[in-house]
Amino acid sequence: MAVDYQKLGFVNTKEMFAKAFAGGYAVPAYNFNNMEQLQAIINGCGKSNSPVILQISSGARKYADQTLLRYLAEGAVAMARKSGYQNQIALHLDHGDSLELCISCIESGFSSVMIDGSHLTYEENVALTTKVVEYAHRFEVSVEGELGVLAGIEDDVVAAKSIYTDPDQVEDFVRRTGVDSLAISIGTSHGAYKFKPSQCSRNEQGVLVPPPLRFDILTEIEQRIPGFAIVLHGSSSVLPEYVETINRHGGKLEAAVGIPAEQLRQAAKSAVCKINIDSDGRLVMTAMIRKVFAEQPQEFDPRKYLGPARDELTKMIIEKNESVLGSAGRE
């Protein structure tokens, strides 16, 4: 029997996405693996008055224990309400790869799940996604499907190259599966190494510039399924200041490049109602921890290096919500 996610303080994404579509913004979907990341997400979205989707990957569940993460998320909602933050919060499974995993999350109180059948044949993807939708909708849980393949590495999701979403498939896929939102591939990519240097150009300062997103594909998809909620994965900008901080303090992140903020803002004004951000959060945390260790090598109290990392991540989230996603100040 599924736990009632509404009693835990979560909502599904149906109303969230309707508001985002009408308002020309995207709801941020931030991944977390521990308490400090979750605190930063809630603090940042609370201070910027943004709705938020708390994302847990299958890898995060394995790392931190599925029960602990669920209770952390539930506690975060209570913390948010106590501080006066009243905006909508969803709890979402990121990149679920099986019906069994989706059922497990639904039964433990998730309000939204993603079933990623993009590694399967088209008909197998339709069949698997349909099964998840049929089960999830019994409990008013939202379902995100995926068409197309994103390159890169994120937890257990690995792909050598991108396969752009075929607009000719989207209408059939949405109609046959009954999904509530659709993740597409238009040039975003997982991880901090989203593009090979050979795929990029260089600006006057010699900085790598990634190839532009395929907005032509996005436009055609919008025309095929008008008003339908679209999702972008792999949408971290791989913020240069944090990459530089990591490298300055002993790291080795060479040729790390992400999606330009202005392209994400353009996408958020379209049918893209949800944008996933994971790698940027990891980079911020790592940069600040390395900085503390380099400047205060005698430090061994986790609160003294995780605390500054959490505070910097809060700042980044506020900036993303205000300047990139456009979700700040939304009711």
Question: Per residue in 31-59, pLDDT tens?
Answer: 999 999 999 999 999 999 999 999 999 88
Q: Are 245 and 291 in contact (CB under 8 A)?
A: yes
Measured CA to CA, the distance from residue 71 to residue 108 in angstroms comes to 10
pLDDT of residue 235: 85
**Distance of CA 107 to CAs 6, 28, 66, 75, 82, Å?**
13, 24, 12, 18, 26
Tokens of 267: 């996408």
What count of other Cβ atoms lies within 10 Å of the Cβ of residue 306? 19
| Residues 135-149 pLDDT 10s | 999 999 999 999 986
Measured CA to CA, the distance from residue 299 to residue 61 in angstroms comes to 30
Residue 94 annotated among the catalytic residues of the structure: yes
What CATH class is the domain 5-320? Answer: alpha beta
What count of other Cβ atoms lies within 10 Å of the Cβ of residue 14? 16
| Residues 236-295 pLDDT 10s | 888 989 999 999 999 998 877 788 899 999 999 999 999 999 999 999 999 999 999 999
Measured CA to CA, the distance from residue 331 to residue 158 in angstroms comes to 36
| Residues 141-175 pLDDT 10s | 999 999 986 654 445 544 434 688 999 999 999 99
DSSP secondary structure string, 260-312? -HHHHHHHHTTTEEEEEE-HHHHHHHHHHHHHHHHH-TT---HHHHHHHHHHH
From 4, 65, 94, 172, active-site residue: 94
pLDDT grade, residue 319 (50/70/90)? very high
Q: Are 84 and 42 in contact (CB under 8 A)?
A: no
- Start-to-end C-alpha separation, the chain: 32
> Phi first, then psi: what are they for 240, rounded to 5°?
-60, -35
Measured CA to CA, the distance from residue 184 to residue 166 in angstroms comes to 9
